[in-house]
Amino acid sequence: MFKSDNKKIWFLGRSYQEYMNMFSLKKDELDHMCILDCAGGASSFTPYLLNNGYDCTAVDMLYGKSVEEIKDQCINDFHTLLEVHSGMDHKVDWDFFSDPEDLVQQRITVYEEFIDSYAQYKGERYIQGVLPNLPLEDNSFNLVLSSHLLFLYEDRLGYGFHQDSLKEMLRVAADEVRIYPVSKLHGDSRSKFLPVLMDELSDDTDFVMERVDYHFRKGSNEMLRIIKK
């Protein structure tokens, strides 16, 4: 979670299956990977992988909080967001979730799984850190994933933040960074920062825009792969 200009970015989470769809991941390709979720929030991707023997770490600015503080943050942000988004069903596609009630139940399950895992692995697999300065070694992860932060919140996190954050994630990634979505929060068009950043970083990386089988927000069906040369 991040704050900028008094506008909040919620401490929320997505499920393991949402991650698999958002980032076009296959289970067999994760077998020999060291994976970083940045910023992980209250997602259940890392809990699922840890429970099944995979090598995964998550980083977030709130991971220094106690288990009870994190639990309160999850519950409060979730219920506040439900109130804010009430009556906005027309802005989403009900493909992944069957209906609003299914969404609510899945989101509750996600943060409950996260809280249990956080209580077990806090400080070991859940590392406190904030972009663009991560407390991690160079080239320490094969794959770095970033969900619902960069590009989405271009109105709150400026170009400099995006530029520095991409460079920082590429620093800790040995092979690849994947970002979902690339559309901005208000509207379904790509972030205005995207073409400039792609041009700036093109000497050292290859950019691949990939359509994915996930688009809860209408128009958000693209994921960016940044592959180090």
**Residue 69, domain CATH:** 3.40.50
Identify how many contiguous H helices and E strands the chain contains and give both numbers. 6, 9
Query: What domain range includes position 62?
Result: 3-228
Q: Quick one: pLDDT at residue 88?
A: 57
Q: Quick one: pLDDT at residue 78?
A: 86
Could you identify the residue written with the tokens 């920082």? 168
Residue by residue, pLDDT tens for the chain (229 residues) are: 444 333 566 788 999 999 999 999 999 999 999 999 999 999 999 999 999 999 999 999 999 999 999 999 999 988 887 776 566 566 666 677 777 788 889 989 999 999 999 999 999 999 999 999 999 999 999 999 999 999 998 988 999 999 999 999 999 999 999 999 999 877 678 999 999 999 999 999 999 999 998 877 766 889 999 999 9
The Cα 36–Cα 172 span in angstroms is 9
Q: Residue 168: what are its φ and ψ, rounded to 5°?
A: -70, -40
How many Å separate Cα 50 from the centre of its chain?
Answer: 17
Q: What is the pTM of this model?
A: 0.90
Domain count, the chain: 1
Q: What do you get for the CA distance between the two ends of the chain, in Å?
A: 30
